[in-house]
């Protein structure tokens, strides 16, 4: 089983129209949308962040040589606009430079969607108090904004959002079970995925009949949390809720055959999800 899980995560190539590059940029197309996963950083992974993963679980799913951990953002090109989903930590302007390498200057970003206000997701929003994306509106959930700027202020988040004070748009993400899920932009639907943070939001992208789900920080150690979604990470503010949300979202993606992309899934960071016979899931990376 251990070999099967690892091979499924590392070697599968199942999704037509997707490709990955050695430069840390991968692409996936749905309808008229082009989705690019942008790797900001890659390092050795740390299974110690998992809560309740005993030695037997780690031996079953983590290879002896260890595993890699990445931090990603997503660029979405639509016929109407350029959308950035999260911005990374901002280290070395890596995300900004990768956006430029795809032919888009920061001034041409029309919208920045923030999944949640942890530092590795909003870091490129501002430089020296000025907006990096001067013509963009910044979208984030009302609950997330209130938590990290009022109830439990994160000064980094406050500073990052300050240049966008007049162009910040808040919203109430729809419940995953809701029959009607309103768009905030054409083809962009925010969905509540609480637990990791109080307002943690994932985004469903739709073009024609095709869909794609950006799952943000739904999981951090893919090798363990896909097959065992009940295991949360120390980064999750509400670990029990995060586990329930992870199970629900992955079940939704598997049942509806919606490809996904995640901020902490290794390059190409995108692929498909299938349910296994043990109550967990198998992730098959796109290639």
Q: How many CB atoms lie within 10 A of CB 21?
A: 12
Comparing 43 with 16, which gets the higher pLDDT? 43
Long-range contacts of 169-177 (CB under 8 A, 24+ apart): 169/137, 169/138, 169/139, 170/139, 170/140, 170/141, 170/142, 170/145, 171/139, 171/140, 171/141, 171/142, 172/141, 172/142, 172/143, 173/141, 173/199, 173/201, 176/248, 176/249, 176/252
- Domain contains 287: no
Write out the two tokens for 46.
């740390």
Res. 23: pLDDT tops 60: yes
Instruction: Say how many domains are in the chain.
Output: 1
Q: Tell me the pLDDT of the chain averaged across its residues.
A: 93
CA distance 242 to 236: 7
The verdict on residue 78 lying in a domain is yes
| pLDDT in the model for residue 186 | 98
Q: Residue 126 falls within a domain, yes or no?
A: yes
**DSSP 8-state secondary structure symbol assigned to residue 266:** P
Q: Note whether residue 137 is domain-resident.
A: yes
170 assigned to some structural domain: yes
pLDDT in tens, 38-83: 999 999 999 999 999 999 999 999 999 999 999 999 999 999 999 9
Q: What is the pLDDT of residue 134?
A: 98
In terms of DSSP bridges, do strands 111-113 and 82-85 run parallel, antiparallel, or are they unpaired?
A: parallel
Q: Assess if residue 57 is contained within a domain.
A: yes
The pLDDT of residue 2 is above 50: no
Please indicate, yes or no, if residue 41 is contained in any of the structural domains: yes
Range from 7-11, 16-20, 265-269 that averages highest in pLDDT = 265-269
**Residue 65 included in any domain:** yes
pLDDT at residue 287 in the model:
77
Tell whether the model's pLDDT for residue 26 goes beyond 50: yes
CATH no. for residue 152?
Answer: 3.60.15.10
Mean pLDDT is lowest, of 3-17, 64-78, 148-162, 199-213, for: 3-17
pLDDT tens track for 84-141: 999 999 999 999 999 999 999 999 999 999 999 999 999 999 999 999 999 999 999 9
Please say if the pLDDT value at position 18 is more than 50: no
The pLDDT > 90 percentage for the chain reads: 92
List the domain range (segments joined by +) for residue 213: 2-11+18-282
- Residue 21 pLDDT: 54
- Which pLDDT value is given to residue 22? 62
Query: Who wins on pLDDT, 231 or 3?
Result: 231
**Under 8 Å between Cβ of 212 and 196:** no
pTM of this structure: 0.93
């Amino acid at each position: 089983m251990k070999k099967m899980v690892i091979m499924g995560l590392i070697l599968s190539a199942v999704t037509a129209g997707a490709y990955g590059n050695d430069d840390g940029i991968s692409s996936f197309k749905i309808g008229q949308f082009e989705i690019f996963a942008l790797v900001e950083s890659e390092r050795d992974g740390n299974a110690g962040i998992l809560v309740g993963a005993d030695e037997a679980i780690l031996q079953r799913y983590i290879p002896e040589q260890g595993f890699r951990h990445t931090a990603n953002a997503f660029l979405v090109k639509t016929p109407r606009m350029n959308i950035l989903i999260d911005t990374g930590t901002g280290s070395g302007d890596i995300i900004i430079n990768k956006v430029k390498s795809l032919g888009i200057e920061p001034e041409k970003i029309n919208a920045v969607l923030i999944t949640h206000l942890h530092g590795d997701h909003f870091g490129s929003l501002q430089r020296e108090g000025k907006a990096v994306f001067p013509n963009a509106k910044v979208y984030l959930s009302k609950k997330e904004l209130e938590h990290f700027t009022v109830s439990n202020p994160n000064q980094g988040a406050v500073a990052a959002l300050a240049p966008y004070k007049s162009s910040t748009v808040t919203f109430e993400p729809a419940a995953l079970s809701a029959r009607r899920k309103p768009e905030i932009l054409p083809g962009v639907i925010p969905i509540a995925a609480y637990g990791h943070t109080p307002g943690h939001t994932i985004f469903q992208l739709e073009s024609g009949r095709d869909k794609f789900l950006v799952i943000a920080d739904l999981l951090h150690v893919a090798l363990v949390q896909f097959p065992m979604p009940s295991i949360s990470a120390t980064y999750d503010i509400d670990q029990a809720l995060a586990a329930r949300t992870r199970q629900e979202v992955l079940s939704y993606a598997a049942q509806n055959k919606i490809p996904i992309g995640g901020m902490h899934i290794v390059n190409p960071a995108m692929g498909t999800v299938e349910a296994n016979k043990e109550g967990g899931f198998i992730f098959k990376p796109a290639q």
